[in-house]
Amino acid sequence: MRAAVYRGPSLISLENVPVPTISAGEILVRVHTCGVCGTDLKKIEYGLVAPPRIFGHEFAGTVVEKGSKVTRFRVGDRVAAHHHIPCRKCFYCRKKLFSQCEFYRRTGTTAGFEPAGGGFAEYVRVMDWIVEEGTVLIPDNVSFEEASFLEPLNTCLKALETAELEPGEVVVVYGQGPVGLLMMQSAVYEGARVIGLDFLKSRLAMSRELGAELALHPDKDNIEEAVARVTEGRGADLAIVAAANPRAIEDALRIVRRGGRVLLFAQTVAGEMVPVDASRICVEEKKLIGSYSASIELQEEAARMIFTRKINVARLISHRFALDLLSEGIHLASHPSEHSLKVVIQP
Ligand SMILES: [Zn+2]
Ligand SMILES: [Zn+2]
């Protein structure tokens, strides 16, 4: 089969690799759509992990083969998979910090080499623990493209849960790219009033269209004044930094109210240092928190929200690329333009 193999920093090569073989508890999925995720971009661009790997964890496709012990799925079923599942028993799982669980960090879907998702290939092997707990059946009226958003939406719901979002709160989301727009919609769905920030006009227009109360440009609009107007001068209850811009963190700590929260969602590269006015945390009692990856406890909720179209994910896809154009897709996703949003690969 054909696969896009990561061979080193910013190096992706289209190669012929063996179709993965499956064991008794596993399934083989023919990939239809796989989203290009920001974490993939960083791993590929900065070479954060050792090659070779086949990335792509936001995938949906059709079961083409199943092991003898698999009872949950049949050949022909349309599915989407989460690539990580926690053990539910360890110290971190007992504290519901599932993404810190050692077992969770083992990736359970692969198209070959060190498991890394595998969605940037024609076929993916889904390992037994993912078949049991991380694989979701897609209803007939939902497209593969929509279903490929299950894992990313889950990560947004988890972030809002971590931030203890309450209905009626005012939330500022830095970045209205595909992830920021997903986060914005999730917060609106949970009853928040959301202000979306972005430097691109098209993304601000999309933000308003999909439910933001305000969508503002950090350089052209007075954000502080706009936030003050909707919060009786207090400042936002919560700011979510869904953009890699380090300036946004400093800014977010300023525009949340006393006792407010700033949640980091896009800071996934180790060693990144940012300036923080510590008195905002000490004297003003603001909380600087983070959230990473998905929660198994939100899997059903994420599926329900997408399958009943409570969240509009179809509008977020701007580009569909064949497998041999993955490098182009990666370039586009990491250099956003007025015309680009979510990039997906359709092998
Ligand atoms: Zn992802
Ligand atoms: Zn665990």
Sign of the CA dihedral with 11 first, then 12, 15, and 17 last: positive
Residue type at position 15: E
Residue type at position 131: V
In the 8-state DSSP scheme, what is residue 324? G
Look at residues 66, 249, 115, 72 and name the one whose alpha carbon lies nearest to residue 175.
Answer: 249
- What's the CA gap between 288 and 293, in Å, rounded? 18
- What's the CA gap between 199 and 220, in Å, rounded? 9
pLDDT of residue 262: 98
Contact 145, 344 (CB under 8 A): yes
Look at residues 251, 284, 280, 58 and name the one whose alpha carbon lies nearest to residue 173.
Answer: 251
From ligand 1's centre to the CA of 39, what distance in Å? 6
Residues of the chain with pLDDT under 70: none
CA 209 to chain centre: 21
pLDDT of residue 39: 85
- What's the CA gap between 313 and 336, in Å, rounded? 18
From ligand 1's centre to the CA of 50, what distance in Å? 19
Look at residues 46, 139, 158, 53 and name the one whose alpha carbon lies nearest to residue 100.
Answer: 158
pLDDT of residue 47: 87
From ligand 2's centre to the CA of 106, what distance in Å? 11
From ligand 2's centre to the CA of 95, what distance in Å? 9
From ligand 1's centre to the CA of 339, what distance in Å? 21
From ligand 2's centre to the CA of 42, what distance in Å? 26
Ligand located closest to 296 CA: 2
pLDDT of residue 105: 84
Instruction: Provide the b/e sequence for 334-344 (b: ≥16 CB within 10 Å).
Output: bebeeebbbbb
pLDDT of residue 104: 85
CA 53 to chain centre: 20
From ligand 1's centre to the CA of 268, what distance in Å? 12
- The helix/strand/coil state of 11 is strand
pLDDT digits (tens, 9 = 90+) for 262-286: 999 998 888 889 989 999 999 999 9
Bond from prior residue into 347 cis (ω within 30 degrees of 0) = no
From ligand 2's centre to the CA of 93, what distance in Å? 4
pLDDT of residue 245: 86
As a dihedral over the C-alpha atoms of residue 159, residue 99, residue 315, residue 203, rounded to 10 degrees, the angle is 50
Ligand located closest to 116 CA: 1
From ligand 2's centre to the CA of 92, what distance in Å? 6
From ligand 2's centre to the CA of 61, what distance in Å? 28
From ligand 1's centre to the CA of 12, what distance in Å? 18
Contact 142, 312 (CB under 8 A): no
Ligand located closest to 98 CA: 2
pLDDT digits (tens, 9 = 90+) for 21-61: 999 999 999 999 999 998 888 888 888 899 999 999 999 99
Ligand located closest to 94 CA: 2
Distances (CA, A) of 121 to 82, 337, 346: 16, 26, 9
Ligand located closest to 106 CA: 2
From ligand 1's centre to the CA of 38, what distance in Å? 7
Ligand located closest to 152 CA: 1
- What's the CA gap between 165 and 179, in Å, rounded? 18
From ligand 1's centre to the CA of 232, what distance in Å? 36
pLDDT of residue 297: 93
pLDDT of residue 114: 94
Residue type at position 200: L
Contact 177, 196 (CB under 8 A): no
From ligand 1's centre to the CA of 338, what distance in Å? 22
Contact 288, 274 (CB under 8 A): no
Instruction: Provide the b/e sequence for 268-282 (b: ≥16 CB within 10 Å).
Output: beeeeeeeeeeebee
Look at residues 299, 265, 22, 26 and name the one whose alpha carbon lies nearest to residue 147.
Answer: 299
- Contacts of residue 345, Cβ cutoff 8 Å, sequence gap at least 6: 4, 33, 34, 35, 36, 56, 119, 120, 320, 321, 322, 323, 326, 329
From ligand 2's centre to the CA of 264, what distance in Å? 23
From ligand 2's centre to the CA of 91, what distance in Å? 7
Look at residues 297, 311, 307, 314 and name the one whose alpha carbon lies nearest to residue 190.
Answer: 311
